[in-house]
Amino acid sequence: MINVLKSSSRRHPFSIETADSYVLKDGVGANMTDSHYFSGHASDGTSFFFRHAKRSDQTTEIWFCLKTSDGKVLCNKEELYPSSSCPADVRCTISGEEMSFSFNGQVAYAHRGDDDILFLEKNGLNIRARATFIASMPPFDFSTGLNPAFVAGALAEEKWNKTFWRNLKQNRQVHYEQPGIIKLEATIENQTYTYVLPAMRDHSYGYRDWNYMNRHIWLMVLFEDGEVLNLNMVDYPHMRNLMTGYISSKGNHTSLRSLTNLKKLGQDGIVPQQIDIEIPLMDNHVATLIGNRELVADFSFADGKYHICEGVGNFAIGEKKGRGILEFGYNRDTSRWK
């Protein structure tokens, strides 16, 4: 399996210029997507995330959520727009270095309900927001950047039949992430606010059938010392135990071995109020990551067949502090979570 993964990396080399310039065309096939995601978090409690995901059915999914340092939260009122009249835009200004994005639409103040899930006020507000993402490190491409030995270990637990190989090929995506900063300017009711936040961007494109997924987890931490931690668990019917991760520090990305206890989180369909997991590092040292939920935004996909609960929270490894994302995704069929 290791040789298969290495061969795949050679056949599909990653090009940041090609990836950053990719634009999904309408009508190219069912379940194709081109998703840009930006997430910024500061030590004063300010958080911001934005998603622009164009789909091949001529619709575009939009997320816009801003939590200010005083605890106020603003979120977009509509999630799905016709691509021809979408009030948001993303474009690459310098490949691998700079992206710009904007949103000119309706938002509303949001409040925490049960399990810190946000609900919106009825009254909407017009917002004009524009932002620039400036990279601070090179991108990390999941197909070529992960240690193949770690991925092979997860795949070794699966049944390598024709269905496995067919679904592995069909669900292939280009997927990469990059640390940086976000410079955000937002005008609400004639008042303009500016923010500069440590950030992470994520870009993925290719085939994505949300209803095919059982569930997934993504933990992303922007530490105050500049390091970035990413942990992932994806559960497909053909691949139940894929858990990966990496640490970014001083311009370098280091793969992590599989987290055996990551999949145990959120099995009840709720973003955990607190997480406590062990992270195996390259030097065989095991670190304990503590995370605390602050808020959760619930987004629906595929006519409600799949939900992403986008949690914002704070984290710590010992005295090392940070803030970031606790993302938990669930298929509507609860029997598929186990």
Higher pLDDT pick, 237 / 111: 111
- CB count within 10 Å of CB 62 equals 19
Residue entry with tokens 């939260």:
73
| Terminal C-alpha separation, the chain | 26
Q: Provide the pLDDT for residue 2.
A: 54
Q: Provide the pLDDT for residue 258.
A: 67
At position 38, the amino acid (one-letter code) is F
What is the Cα 69 distance to its own chain's centre?
A: 22
Model confidence at 29: pLDDT above 90: no
H helix or E strand, kind and range, residue 132: strand 125-135
Judging by DSSP bridges, how do beta strands 118-120 and 98-112 pair with one another? antiparallel
Burial class (CB in 10 A: 0-12, 13-18, 19+), 328: buried
Taking the C-alpha atoms of residue 323 and residue 220, their distance in angstroms, rounded to an integer, is: 8
**Which residue, among 228, 244, 224, 227, has the nearest Cα to 175 in the 3D structure?**
244
Q: What are phi and psi of 116, to 5 degrees?
A: 65, 20
Model confidence at 322: pLDDT above 90: yes
Instruction: State the pTM of this model.
Output: 0.94
Burial class (CB in 10 A: 0-12, 13-18, 19+), 303: exposed
Q: How confident is the model at residue 286 (pLDDT cuts 50, 70, 90)?
A: confident
Q: Are the beta carbons of 70 and 87 closer than 8 angstroms?
A: no
- CB count within 10 Å of CB 283 equals 6
- CB count within 10 Å of CB 285 equals 8
Q: How far is CA 120 from CA 5, 48, 124, 250, in A?
A: 45, 17, 9, 39
Q: Provide the pLDDT for residue 27.
A: 80
Q: Provide the pLDDT for residue 233.
A: 92
Taking the C-alpha atoms of residue 200 and residue 2, their distance in angstroms, rounded to an integer, is: 29
H helix or E strand, kind and range, residue 167: helix 162-170
Taking the C-alpha atoms of residue 117 and residue 294, their distance in angstroms, rounded to an integer, is: 9
**Which residue, among 236, 237, 238, 256, has the nearest Cα to 246 in the 3D structure?**
256
At position 272, the amino acid (one-letter code) is P
Model confidence at 325: pLDDT above 90: yes
Q: What is the pLDDT of residues 196-225, one digit of tens each?
A: 999 999 999 999 999 999 999 999 999 999
SS3 296: strand
Q: How confident is the model at residue 18 (pLDDT cuts 50, 70, 90)?
A: very high
Q: How confident is the model at residue 73 (pLDDT cuts 50, 70, 90)?
A: very high
Q: Percentage of the chain with pLDDT > 90?
A: 75
- CB count within 10 Å of CB 123 equals 9
Q: What is the pLDDT of residues 224-260, one digit of tens each?
A: 999 999 999 999 888 887 888 999 999 999 988 766 6
Q: What is the pLDDT of residues 128-146, one digit of tens each?
A: 999 999 999 999 999 899 8
**Which residue, among 300, 302, 230, has the nearest Cα to 262 in the 3D structure?**
230
